[in-house]
Amino acid sequence: MMRTTLWGCGLLLASLVGQARAAGEAVPAAGADRLVPRPLWELGLGVAALRLPDYRGSDQSHAYLLPLPYVVYRGEWLRADRDGARALLLKTERVKVDVSVAASAPARSRDDAARSGMPNLPPTVEFGPNVNVELLQSADQRVRLDLRLPLRAPVTVQRSPHAIGLTFSPNLNLDFKGVGGGWNVGVLGGPLFADRKYHQYFYGVDAVYATPQRPAYTAPGGYAGWQVLAAVSRRFGSTWVGAFLRYDSLRGSVFNASPLVRQDHEVTVGIGVSWVFATSGQLVASED
């Protein structure tokens, strides 16, 4: 379980960092072409510290110290950059369609009072199409506003994986490059939705696990609250540093009556540093 916990938290860490991580490189001068030569790939490794709730709505959280990989790949169809890891399916001047990834960390029921006696929650990984629409780009390319529409299918990470429904999280993503002499700042936020199967996985209580303090509960599908994530990052030569803060609100969610929801808001924080130790000699035209 410890190995699964660390791996699952690593998945979530990579997902969170990828949501708002900026490349941290020099920004093209105003009026320059959007595409500039950059290495095809970059590899690095570091460490990150973060504090995670056991699940959205839990009143218990745990701190983790984890290895933090730094991976950038600027291929024609496969990308791993400040927008996360994905396979690019379609790209026009203002619209991109790709395959995106997200994740959730595992939770051990013996460590969480609300879930005591219930099965553990394995980590999950989510895959699905994402439509990214560029709404605004400043003339000097330092400010960008995107609308993102990811629809994902979560799967549990365990010996016998199984699908647990669908999630949809439309959001606005605002990026600022070169702030304060070289910092990149990203802010992403929007509502969350999921089907009944997904909500039942996290918030349902089967009759066999019901107690006087934890009545049986069947979770419906629909609105799951909203969240905002803010991140900052910067490259100092071969060193990348970054930090994020995420606020989650479950107010008004369809499963708010679940006995497993112990609080209707929470904050997740993390900070990391990676050292880039290998860079491709091949250059490609990229805007990242």
Strand segments, DSSP code E, in the chain are: 36-39, 41-53, 61-74, 78-81, 84-91, 95-104, 124-137, 143-156, 167-168, 171-179, 183-194, 222-236, 239-249, 265-279, 283-286
Residue 22, phi then psi, degrees to nearest 5: -100, 155
Helix (H, G, I), strand (E, B) or coil at 186: strand
Please provide the average confidence, as pLDDT, over all residues in the chain. 84
Q: Tens of pLDDT along 72-123? A: 877 665 555 555 555 666 777 789 888 888 888 888 898 899 999 999 999 8
Supply the pLDDT for residue 225. Answer: 97
Supply the pLDDT for residue 205. Answer: 97
> Residue length, the chain?
288
The model's confidence at residue 254, banded by pLDDT at 50, 70 and 90, is very high
